[in-house]
Chain A
Amino acid sequence: MTETSRLWPCAIQGLIAAGGLLLWFVVTQSGEVSPLFLPAPDAVVNAWVALVRSDEFWPAVGVTLTTIAAAYILAAVAGLLTGWLITRSPLLTRAFEPLVSGIFAIPITLFFPLFILLFGIGQESKLAYGAVYGFFPVALNTIAGFAHVDRRLVDAARCMGLSRFGLFRHVLLPAASPVIFTGLRVGFFICFASVLGGEAIASAAGIGHNIALSAELFEPARMYAWIVCVVAAALVLTALVSTIERRFRDS
């Protein structure tokens, strides 16, 4: 793509963001919508500044980010290992691929109360819930990636005399990595959403908990201020994930 054509998508994105903000401003100014549901942008900005300055902000962010990180590391490591081990045998692949994708199709949210019963109201339950939910896309894509490597390339590698490690390093891994990366990315955002969602439903700490609490205390400006933080975090993390992915793909 040329430099000019790269600018257009950014311009469109900027326009949409500006349009959204303008709409928000107009709607709140019109008085048609109760400020209880949607406070004015300036009220949210004020609440956000107050929030960031408050003593509870960084501890809550820290708790949530730590939980997400821990849940994701568990999900990624377990998912990659499981996927790799299953695809070592065509029989296991045929047995487990539909099983794993079948379980992933079940809304695991329904089992959230079970996680609370098992791990309590603390962060452990959110960690476990996020890890379990994030495990499935990682495992599923790892299976798909390794199980569907072009047979001819594997044959060609064997005929050239590549060692087992060479086959993994030069054929299986590069062939599977785009699919595995998709799984890792989806798994990450599922972990992110699950931990925050879990915190909002039943928790004693974290960003999700604070969002739910603000709503219950009729502090919509504060609630939106927290949501702004989540949106910002999601944007930063998306950018980070794509950068890491591009780095890895280029090397």
Chain B
Amino acid sequence: MAAISVRAVSHSFGLPGKQNRIAALKNVSFDVAPGEFVTILGPSGCGKSTLLNMVGGLLSPSEGAVQVDGTPVLQPLPERIAYVFQESTLFPWYTVEENFAILLRCRDVPRSEWRTRTLAALTSVGMQDFAGHYPKQLSVGMRQRINLARGIASDTDILLMDEPFAALDEQSRMVLGEDLSALLGRTGKTILFVTHSLAEAVFLSDRILVLSARPGRVKATVAVNEPHPRPPDFMLTSDFSELRNQCYALLRDEIRLAMAEAVA
């Protein structure tokens, strides 16, 4: 059985019949197998985040259905799905450690394990020295690393990630991408990842779904047959550039369409 199953999902924003009604997604269907890393790649405004919000149970589709392990998703499922947002969603009024404590309490982890679990998660992203800091005392990149660690610490089978590296500079992105690839190779989580970075998509994914310009539909699927964890050298191979170019060729017209619509 598929870990995530999206069936004929369409979604529109705004009231039916109104001028400002926008069709965000049109008839999107795909499955994600357990342990698979699937990336949704598409031009800006094509409904990538909308799709992820539906899988996360934050939004109900206008049409179609989303299932997780065979159960329809009607609300967030904290036991099964963790969500890492585009910008850090650490609570600014709590220290890093207290932020983890809130999550671990929700996950019914015994209090005696909170500290070790927190430090283990922070160590996995190289942030173990910042448990006592408040988010605002950290840089954007550091916050996002911790945000990522918190998502992984949820210990759910499914992880949704909405452009988690978008706010980072290129160097941090690459390093974090490598870390993520190594981390996920160990944990065997099912991941649905949203990005508009071609390199990120090819480096991390088992499969890439290329979405069209708005209203988004699955234009093509690109498979990346390279075992995890992937060494940084993977980016230097001809396979990598070929896949990257293939994705770009698929995206190019869609990006132009999206830009033309933005102007009009």
Contacts and interface: CB of A to CB of B under 8 A. Distances in A.
Pair from one complex: yes
B89 A152 contact: yes
Contacts of B83: 155-156, 159
B89 A174 contact: no
B58 interface: yes
Interface string B18-60: 0000000000000000000000000000000000000011100
Interface string A128-154: 000000000000000000000000110
A152 B78 contact: no
Interface stretch (B100-108, B109-117, B217-225, B234-242): B100-108
Complex A-B, nearest 4 residue pairs according to Cβ-Cβ distance, in ascending order: A161-B78, A156-B89, A174-B93, A159-B83
A161 B87 CA distance: 19
B130 interface: no
A14 to B, nearest CB: 34
A110 B58 CA distance: 49
Contacts of B91: 153, 170-171, 174
B76 A161 contact: yes
B158 to A, nearest CB: 11
A160 B58 contact: no
Interface in B120-160: 154
A158 interface: yes
27 contacts: A152-B87, A152-B89, A153-B89, A155-B58, A155-B89, A156-B83, A156-B89, A159-B56, A159-B58, A159-B76, A159-B78, A160-B103, A160-B106, A160-B154, A161-B78, A161-B79, A161-B106, A162-B102, A162-B106, A166-B102, A166-B105, A166-B106, A170-B91, A171-B91, A174-B91, A174-B93, A175-B93
A247 to B, nearest CB: 15
Interface of A: 152-153, 155-156, 158-162, 166, 170-171, 174-175
Contacts of B106: 160-162, 166
B102 A160 contact: yes
B6 interface: no
A156 B102 CA distance: 11
Interface residues on B, range: 20 to 34
B85 A156 contact: yes
B76 A170 contact: no
Contacts of A160: 78, 82, 102-103, 106, 154
Given A155-B58, A159-B76, A170 B82 contact: no
A158 B106 CA distance: 10
Contacts of B94: 170, 174
Most chain B beta-carbon contacts within 10 A, residue among A152, A156, A158, A166: A156
B81 interface: yes
Contacts of A174: 91, 93-94
A166 B94 CA distance: 14
A156 B53 CA distance: 11
Nearest to B104: A160
Nearest to B105: A166
B102 A155 contact: no
Contacts of A161: 76, 78-79, 106-107
A248 to B, nearest CB: 12
A159 B103 CA distance: 10
A152 B79 contact: no
A129 B79 CA distance: 52
A158 B76 contact: yes
Nearest to B154: A160
Most chain B beta-carbon contacts within 10 A, residue among A158, A159, A166: A159
A190 to B, nearest CB: 28
A156 B147 CA distance: 11
A166 B89 CA distance: 16
A159 B81 contact: yes
A128 to B, nearest CB: 37
Contacts of A175: 93
Contact of A155 (B85, B103, B105): B85
B121 to A, nearest CB: 14
Contacts of A158: 58, 75-76, 78
Most chain B beta-carbon contacts within 10 A, residue among A155, A166, A171: A155
A162 B87 CA distance: 20
Contacts of B56: 159
A158 B76 CA distance: 7
Contacts of B57: 159
A182 to B, nearest CB: 16
Contacts of A152: 85, 87, 89
